[in-house]
Structure 1
């Protein structure tokens, strides 16, 4: 009997081992798992899908309905034919997916996902507790959902990327980042963590990241006037002194003049022109801790809390910028408050909002929150370092091309050249003065006043545009031209687009006039419509490309149909799109617009590298031959300082080509009204000098802005140190072209990043997590811009675990220390990382003037070093078919041996022989940068490996 019972139990056990899985609500897929939540709470998903995209990339999707939307992603171009090995197992009520690089756990009951590295360390964990993921919303007749997803993160984790934001933040931890396209805000919903992972939030609508609680109006605080009266701050509206009018004084609980629609909120009879407004009194919170404030503003603004100046900035009246600051407030305590605003125009913008301290339970969470979507989609990307994370982003969204070599040289631009003669004279003057130049830019309004969108030159000012373009080319320069997706009502191009139903018509129906002349009614075309994209390319191809235009400047690509209109009105102005409501696709316009130009040009002339400069960005933009500039920024030292973290976070977003208007775009009255005083003129020259120094080491090097004219010879005379410093850095940029163009090659071939936040290369050094005003330019150069007026030194940090050489004199210092570096007017502190090889080429007037037959290799010893020299045919796409060459160069510290390795690859016109002059710099044996210095060794190179010993 006992034996029979034992056998029965064994049989039952065997049968049990073959029964259906204990978890019944999931389905194993070829590339992942799909979980159906049995009893989802209100607002929670019904289905969660986790896909293995690659060893280090996982897609998580969720939907509140029974079936996933099949709408294709605009950002992601994933190759779904690619197969990745992965394993699957059940672990209690958890589904476990393993790849070579990751372990992913999915809760079978709630669909919550946790990501681990292979050692078992948690990288990121969804926080689904009590969080409504899907909230139904209706746009017209279209049903959709507001989306939210929170994550648990480490207490010391830092966050970067998300495009270009100009509030001065490097690390977004603890802040809210508003992902809304705007002039000077470029949205890329790709987040990068200091723990070497990224999240691509695949959503096209307006989104917030971080602490996504809504900002509150000041009225949510207890407010007191300066007389201690409760109910509001004392608001004083002082008139221009010339009027002799007494100020208007009233008590106010909100400051909200943010949009055009708010301009009627000022006191009756009040004129902004020449006015000055102050808000004074006390603020009291019901919470203790850091309160964060958000302020979109234009004009001159100062804010004090507890008599501490927290903000002091100027921004042009017609284009407000965002500022953030924080102040510690104590519950129940009155804190003194004062804000002073000089609008600096007859229309200006200002608002102030706040967030209370995050609740304790949310301090280690971050979230994404989007206005619209039919499903929730994000991609988790992991890497051993941030370069691998960026590479994963490009694997998902497309490679960035090798830009044409000329684009890596200097570009000269103005707010616009008003005539053909003006433009040509600038090119001639550069050549006459022997100042390197590769590209001249024709900005807007080259058309007749009432013909915006025609893409036709005004014949009275540009009598022979084809001849002008030919003459630019004859002077060995390229020409870029500005085109907008904008059309004046009634012009021929407008009629053609309108007949096809390819225009947004709200602004036409509302008869909104722009600021040109008497004011003209206009609208934009629908770039989401493939027929619209084709028609736009056909238009600029016929009118401009056939004449020889080399590159495209795509302005207002947010799209900026009506500047400073409320967000709700901006969405109404682009409704409906070809794909659906603008609410769902608002951030993606720039991607589709530039897609049409890229595909159009490559279809028209497959052998000509596309180059686009656009004022906005979005996930995947890099695949369309596009770069981004930082918009219509102000000409101040403070604004220059904000450019640095803006550009670095843009680079970490996976888009490698970025630039800023050297000198800033719009200037204060003291610079452009009448004659500058001598003191102000010197201030202007210093500002431009410092900005040129910084701009030399951004991926794209270009000067642009309104009057005063931005050509170096219009900034200062030849004998002035401003002129001399600007020309010095211009020529240094061209000397570095073998280095810079090699970095450009790495962007495509190795998914490289040119302008590198310190956290990319020194992430184990916790001192660099918040540094946003220093960066690496390529692997070797530490760039330290000077952005304070009259500074002759600046404090900076030399990252740890390596040594650093001054580029200028070769002196050596150990890393891991804060120093005060000399920064005389003429020079910005530049350091070279120990164990670097810097190739310098010949002096050039333009990038392709002559081949680099002689390259000076500066070898910085102390550690092993390597660099790969890259060359191709400069302006075509043959490199995509393997027509390029690389030369590996290595230095071995132990043997003091430099090896120029065997050349790999070939291309038409390749230089077969060249000379390498080697200059060896070591700790204790400084050598100044001098291109005519006697080399320590010389290598005659013909493609085979060659080595020399260095002493």
Structure 2
């Protein structure tokens, strides 16, 4: 391997032409979209390319190429737009400036830096870039690459995907970024200063931040390639990251209801019976999930067929579930057992990898025996023909039955007994080492693309265990994998979800209650675990997907007692609360799709001037109106005779910080409070601290057993005075892609706090089945109420 060293001091010599400047053997070229500096001595080109006025690409490649070399770009979908650029020279640097950002190219070092158009420094490259060429092996001709940046000393940054560190700010990290079961890596971070960096590389990558520097170092790359984007704030950065890597499609309304699952329903009768039981108890439920082994044993792993005799008529199973107005999704994997049809076809065409994956055991043996290994192998999702084969079997065996969505497990994928040489396996796009982190993007994207081609009547919904940059465009909701059911693990999920959302991927959830219960030998008989489950479910109520799942013990509501008992009642209360908020949640989902917003909002997103929230990892906004503070410590369990018992004899409290810059209302009591202070909130088992920002408008839906049981003919509209506010009530046909053709409606609502007037604007748009007349019951947090008959025309109400 040979290092390309970048060094040298150059002096201005002469102007070659209108576009080229000779610098002692180095050529600076002005291009239509930026600048290009060729350092002849080091045989390296640094090129700046503006994609939009807010997004600039920085590429460093060998000067043997006249232009940026072609590469398989898997995340970026944006083509460069024409931008009005101005060129200049200042302080030993060449500059290229758009309407939003100035990029500076150092004459002596070739380092790049970024400033606002007003001259405020945002980010600077530091040290010399490193490209170390591979001279032999599967990556011959490619490079090990590294770029170092300089950040302000106390500048928080966010993103990197979904980590389990418990941190919100990602400063002071030394992290090897490679996809795993419980950590999903995205080589992107954004700063409180209002910019973001996407390191466009798919190989295992070190991200290091310490007192000296911040850098990305990737094992394989054709060249250094990253995107700098400004946005002014976190929402602006996220909007640009999505413009670069893809926008978020609408998910069906039913995905926002309550979902029940377990590892696993062992028969058709059992899974249908769970839905029936929820209906009998009149506890709302929208979805049920069938986990693995419906195919039979491990030699038949992921056959994508119901080969297990306990599922005696899968078509009837789907019909029975649908008859109860519920939806079902099913587990599919990235790997196949050797006796399955997909395995045989993929193997014949050389489309299977050889590294070890789950499950290792053959006929369900644990621990696995070397003489009875399962032979399960992962398929090459980088190959478009392999993705075709994958969909062919998923479609024929499952989608054709009326399956409503997919639970794509192990999309990282599982890699057991890891050996470094495993990453030298060949894929359709080069070595596995070169593209390892993009595997979930390829596997999830393959199912999304194929289903969209197969049907536009049903929106794609994918629950997946892993993600990479750009996956937001594939109708997927990522969960945090097989986490432990402990209080400590629970705490870590909050910043994990916030950083994942700050990585521009908005749909995220966890196994409510945690997957494994290894620290609870008595399982649900332990009151400490029951308290943990209730608190976790309360958190899940305010996530993009509310889904109960886990191993070791079933998690259905009736496993926690019966009506009138504290754990059962607390669970039921929050499931009902979730359904009452569906008009708000679905409208937020439209804001995510149409205006690049985010469900889970770290407080720094909405209150960046309040330094108290820059690294706050235990509170967040759900949408832009509701502040959520999960209760992450046990309060109602004590020891008695060496056993844990429940103790509700006194009500406990927890501290909540209310950000500066707004007034707040206690959701439960409607007490108004000032921001910028911490308050004590009483939290009996059935209360989690919720606060609504003054100026908010929140629609409340009817009591239902499933999301579409009742139309939104009558909605309570809750207004929280103290500031001006707006809200857009969004509606469409709830489960097709007609909204992309304009089949939807928006009803904008506005609150003028000084005049105390509430305005409902004229309805915009229409769709089949739309409500033309309806009733809104306007309720203010300070006790005013008025009933409004709305026919789609503008109305002003004085309160």
Normalising by structure 1, we get a TM-score of: 0.78
Give 2:655's match in structure 1, choosing from 785, 795, 817. 795
Aligned partner of 2:545 in structure 1 is 700
Q: What value does the CA root-mean-square deviation take over the aligned residues?
A: 2.1
Mapped pair 1:642 → 2:492: yes
Give the drift of 1:519: 4.4
Mapped pair 1:70 → 2:63: no
Aligned partner of 2:243 in structure 1 is 395
Q: Does the CA-based 8 Å contact 1:186-1:617 persist in structure 2?
A: yes
Mapped pair 1:385 → 2:239: no
Aligned partner of 1:948 in structure 2 is 797
**Hey, what's the Cα distance between the residues in 2 that align with 1:824 and 1:795?**
14
Compared CA separation, residues 571 and 860, structure 1 to 2 (3 A): same
Give the drift of 1:409: 0.8
Q: Does the CA-based 8 Å contact 1:709-1:715 persist in structure 2?
A: no
Give the drift of 1:516: 2.4
Alignment of 1:34-183 (within 5 A): 34-40=36-42, 46-67=44-65, 68-80=68-80, 82-91=81-90, 93-129=92-128, 132-134=130-132, 136=134, 138-140=136-138, 142-183=140-181
Where in structure 2 are there 5+ consecutive unaligned residues? 1-14, 366-371, 637-651
Aligned partner of 1:30 in structure 2 is 32
Alignment of 1:451-600 (within 5 A): 451-507=300-356, 513=361, 516-517=364-365, 519-562=373-416, 565-566=417-418, 568=420, 571=423, 575-600=425-450
Give the drift of 1:513: 4.2
Q: Does the CA-based 8 Å contact 2:411-2:443 persist in structure 1?
A: yes
**Hey, what's the Cα distance between the residues in 2 that align with 1:389 and 1:210?**
22
Q: Does the CA-based 8 Å contact 1:559-1:590 persist in structure 2?
A: yes
Give the drift of 1:185: 0.5
Give the drift of 1:89: 2.4
**Hey, what's the Cα distance between the residues in 2 that align with 1:730 and 1:153?**
44
**Hey, what's the Cα distance between the residues in 2 that align with 1:159 and 1:586?**
25
Give the drift of 1:90: 3.6
Give 1:632's match in structure 2, choosing from 462, 466, 482. 482
Look up the SS of the partner of 2:73 in the other structure: coil
Give the drift of 1:641: 0.5
**Hey, what's the Cα distance between the residues in 2 that align with 1:519 and 1:418?**
23
Give the drift of 1:478: 0.6
Alignment of 1:635-674 (within 5 A): 635-668=485-518, 670-671=520-521
Deviations 1:655-685 (A, max 9, x none): 0100000010010264457xx6xxx522121
Aligned partner of 1:619 in structure 2 is 469
Aligned partner of 2:645 in structure 1 is none
Compared CA separation, residues 393 and 422, structure 1 to 2 (3 A): same
Aligned partner of 1:334 in structure 2 is none
Look up the SS of the partner of 1:204 in the other structure: coil
Give the drift of 1:493: 2.3
Look up the SS of the partner of 1:106 in the other structure: strand
Deviations 1:115-169 (A, max 9, x none): 111211000011125x535464754363321111111111110011111001111
Q: Does the CA-based 8 Å contact 2:139-2:431 persist in structure 1?
A: no
Give the drift of 1:813: 1.1
Compared CA separation, residues 382 and 18, structure 1 to 2 (3 A): closer
Give the drift of 1:571: 2.5
Q: Does the CA-based 8 Å contact 1:381-1:392 persist in structure 2?
A: yes
**Hey, what's the Cα distance between the residues in 2 that align with 1:793 and 1:515?**
51
Deviations 1:541-586 (A, max 9, x none): 0110001001001111111142xx23525525xx211111111111
Give the drift of 1:707: 2.9
Aligned partner of 2:778 in structure 1 is 918
Compared CA separation, residues 872 and 94, structure 1 to 2 (3 A): same
Give the drift of 1:17: 12
Look up the SS of the partner of 1:623 in the other structure: helix
Q: Does the CA-based 8 Å contact 1:37-1:110 persist in structure 2?
A: no
Look up the SS of the partner of 2:779 in the other structure: strand
Deviations 1:823-879 (A, max 9, x none): 111111110011111110111111111111111111100110111111111111111
Deviations 1:15-52 (A, max 9, x none): 99999746561222221111101333xxxx70111001
**Hey, what's the Cα distance between the residues in 2 that align with 1:781 and 1:694?**
13
Where in structure 1 are there 5+ consecutive unaligned residues? 1-14, 212-357, 928-934
**Hey, what's the Cα distance between the residues in 2 that align with 1:740 and 1:599?**
26
Aligned partner of 2:259 in structure 1 is 411
Q: Does the CA-based 8 Å contact 2:20-2:27 persist in structure 1?
A: no
- Which structure is larger by alpha-carbon Rg, 1 or 2? 1
Give the drift of 1:458: 2.8
Look up the SS of the partner of 1:423 in the other structure: helix
**Hey, what's the Cα distance between the residues in 1 that align with 2:755 and 2:422?**
64
Compared CA separation, residues 414 and 570, structure 1 to 2 (3 A): farther
Mapped pair 1:208 → 2:206: yes
**Hey, what's the Cα distance between the residues in 1 that align with 2:308 and 2:170?**
50
- Farther-moved stretch of structure 1 (64-73 vs 936-945): 64-73
Q: Does the CA-based 8 Å contact 2:196-2:228 persist in structure 1?
A: yes
Give 2:618's match in structure 1, choosing from 773, 794, 797. 773
Aligned partner of 2:284 in structure 1 is 436
- Farther-moved stretch of structure 1 (772-781 vs 144-153): 144-153
Give the drift of 1:902: 1.0
Give 1:823's match in structure 2, choosing from 683, 686, 706. 683
Q: Does the CA-based 8 Å contact 1:712-1:723 persist in structure 2?
A: yes
**Hey, what's the Cα distance between the residues in 2 that align with 1:804 and 1:52?**
42
Q: Does the CA-based 8 Å contact 2:164-2:492 persist in structure 1?
A: yes
**Hey, what's the Cα distance between the residues in 2 that align with 1:687 and 1:136?**
51
Compared CA separation, residues 803 and 504, structure 1 to 2 (3 A): same
**Hey, what's the Cα distance between the residues in 1 that align with 2:553 and 2:17?**
82
Compared CA separation, residues 586 and 461, structure 1 to 2 (3 A): same
Q: Does the CA-based 8 Å contact 1:104-1:113 persist in structure 2?
A: yes
**Hey, what's the Cα distance between the residues in 2 that align with 1:799 and 1:569?**
50
**Hey, what's the Cα distance between the residues in 1 that align with 2:281 and 2:413?**
40
Aligned partner of 1:345 in structure 2 is none
**Hey, what's the Cα distance between the residues in 2 that align with 1:493 and 1:503?**
10
Q: Between Structure 1 and Structure 2, how many residues are aligned?
A: 760
